[in-house]
């Protein structure tokens, strides 16, 4: 009995018990689909983080308040501590104290409601200085950025992110029009270009940038504290030198050692790592759960194949009496189990692919399918079928013809 015959016989047996085969495959389908989706979810999240951080601007150091043991600088949360001040930013900008630093942009950040006519929109209000656009590598599609004079005078002007602008002003150019914040009127003087972060709705495209003095006045902040200081190094090569200059400068100013620092400095790399390590934990956890469901699916295949061997024991006896060798019988059951696994895997793959189109808008997370994950899923499902089919198949193969024929 050659392989084609064996495959045909396997397909026949799977089809003969259609409902049972379907239910058996369901375990594999769910397992494979969830593995594909969780791995895709993890990869999508990594790509998203990478895009967002790339869009932050090159040669960038991000100084945030919080303990230095939070190496990533993210966990302290922007603005959760108030140890950084405008004076810190001014000191870093000093060419003699930190020669490898080109520009500095201190920022404050808070959430506010903007109004333009009848339209209301809640966004983050960022107060900063003139160098912000350069430090963050942002350009404007229309209008202009604010000037040092406007900062000095606390002028009521605002630069809007592209998403913010389109939310507030559906038609016409926003430049020159008025938005209201906390009862105060601001003139829109410019609109930012999109940050280039892959997904839409990124906070980088939805914010209102104000002179830092104006932002403080509007939000009623009196202290000189800032939530983040963005520092641009003179080049990629001087990034680590700039890092050390900023670190020692701030440690001196805050009268702490580097080990007990009340601030954190992160680079793009460290941000990517931190974000990815959080994502990775989640992905590993989810993938683990998905893998367990795959395993359960495999046990389901084994269970059904054992039932099938018992149920078809007379058939096995007859086939042996007519000349089927143990090897042929074993192979037949193994092929049947592998088919359950593989067909389940293919269906699971389809479900996963459909899921990767349907789910992202719902969960607001991109899902990236990779050829590797797809190939691995198919191999795994086949492997599960074979792996969990071996025992039932060898049981069928080992039956003596007379015992099989005589059983009722």
By C-beta, is 32 or 304 nearer to other proteins? 304
In the block, residue with structure tokens 């259609």: 18
By C-beta, is 158 or 316 nearer to other proteins? 316
By C-beta, is 90 or 400 nearer to other proteins? 400
Shortest Cβ 303–other proteins spacing (Å): 22
- Whole-number Å distance between alpha carbons of 105 and 128: 6
By C-beta, is 220 or 323 nearer to other proteins? 323
- Whole-number Å distance between alpha carbons of 339 and 345: 9
Shortest Cβ 394–other proteins spacing (Å): 13
In Å, how far from its chain's centre is CA 354? 19
By C-beta, is 184 or 325 nearer to other proteins? 325
Shortest Cβ 374–other proteins spacing (Å): 35
By C-beta, is 15 or 144 nearer to other proteins? 15
Q: Two tokens at 18?
A: 């259609």
Shortest Cβ 1–other proteins spacing (Å): 6
347 within 8 A of 31, measured Cβ to Cβ: no
By C-beta, is 141 or 407 nearer to other proteins? 407
Shortest Cβ 327–other proteins spacing (Å): 7
* Residue 9, CA distances (Å) to 109, 147, 232, 264, 329 in order: 69, 80, 69, 66, 11
By C-beta, is 306 or 328 nearer to other proteins? 328
* Phi, then psi, of 206 in degrees rounded to 5: -125, 85
Shortest Cβ 7–other proteins spacing (Å): 13
- Whole-number Å distance between alpha carbons of 100 and 79: 26
Residues 71, 208, 366, CA angle at the centre, nearest 5°? Answer: 60
- Chain residues binding other proteins by CB under 8 A are 1-2, 5, 16, 314-315, 318-328, 400-402, 405
By C-beta, is 322 or 371 nearer to other proteins? 322
332 within 8 A of 10, measured Cβ to Cβ: yes
385 within 8 A of 340, measured Cβ to Cβ: yes
Nearest alpha-carbon partner for 335 in 258, 271, 264, 393 = 393
Q: Two tokens at 29?
A: 């389908």
By C-beta, is 5 or 269 nearer to other proteins? 5
DSSP annotation of 79:
T
Shortest Cβ 315–other proteins spacing (Å): 6
- Strands 207-211 and 157-160, bridge-based pairing: antiparallel
- Whole-number Å distance between alpha carbons of 17 and 7: 16
* Helix ranges (DSSP H) in 97-208: 132-135, 148-153, 162-168
- Whole-number Å distance between alpha carbons of 137 and 135: 5
Contacts with 254 (C-beta within 8 Å, 6 or more apart), sequence order: 83, 261, 262, 263
Residue 375 CB neighbour total at 10 angstroms? 11
Shortest Cβ 334–other proteins spacing (Å): 16
Shortest Cβ 402–other proteins spacing (Å): 4
Shortest Cβ 326–other proteins spacing (Å): 6
């Amino acid at each position: 009995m050659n392989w084609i015959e064996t495959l045909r016989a396997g397909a026949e047996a799977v089809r003969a018990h259609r409902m049972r085969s379907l239910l058996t495959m369901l375990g594999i389908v769910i397992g494979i689909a969830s593995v594909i989706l969780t791995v895709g979810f993890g990869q999508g999240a990594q790509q998203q983080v990478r895009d967002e951080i790339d869009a932050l601007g090159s040669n960038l150091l991000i100084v945030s308040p919080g303990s230095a043991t939070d190496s990533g600088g993210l966990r302290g949360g922007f603005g959760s501590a108030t140890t950084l001040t405008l004076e810190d930013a001014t000191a870093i900008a000093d060419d003699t104290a930190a020669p490898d630093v080109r520009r500095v942009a201190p920022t404050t950040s808070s959430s506010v409601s903007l109004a333009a006519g009848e339209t209301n929109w809640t966004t983050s209000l960022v107060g900063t200085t003139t160098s912000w656009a350069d430090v963050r590598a942002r350009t404007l599609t229309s209008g202009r950025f604010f000037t040092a004079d406007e900062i000095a005078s606390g002028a009521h002007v605002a630069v809007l992110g592209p998403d913010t602008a389109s939310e507030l002003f559906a038609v016409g150019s926003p430049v020159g029009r008025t938005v209201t914040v906390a009862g105060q009127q601001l003139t829109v003087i410019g609109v930012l270009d999109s940050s280039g972060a892959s997904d839409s709705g990124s906070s980088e495209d939805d914010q209102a940038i104000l002179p830092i003095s104006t932002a403080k006045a509007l939000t009623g902040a009196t202290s000189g504290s800032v939530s983040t200081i963005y520092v641009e190094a003179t080049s990629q090569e001087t990034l680590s030198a700039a890092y050390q200059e900023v670190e020692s400068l701030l440690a001196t100013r805050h009268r702490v050692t580097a080990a007990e620092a009340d601030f954190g400095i992160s680079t793009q790399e460290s941000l990517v790592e931190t974000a990815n390590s959080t994502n990775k934990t989640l992905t590993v956890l989810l993938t683990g759960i998905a893998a367990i469901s795959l395993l359960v699916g495999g046990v389901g295949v084994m269970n059904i194949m054992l039932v099938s061997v018992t149920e078809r024991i007379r058939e096995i006896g007859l086939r042996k009496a007519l000349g089927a060798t143990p090897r042929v019988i074993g192979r037949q059951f193994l092929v049947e189990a592998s088919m359950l696994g593989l067909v389940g895997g293919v269906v699971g793959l389809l479900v996963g692919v459909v899921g990767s189109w349907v789910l992202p808008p719902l969960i607001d997370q991109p899902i990236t399918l990779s050829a590797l994950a797809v190939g691995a899923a198919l191999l795994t499902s086949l492997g599960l079928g074979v792996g969990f089919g071996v025992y039932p198949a060898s049981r069928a193969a080992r039956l003596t013809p007379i015992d099989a024929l005589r059983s009722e």
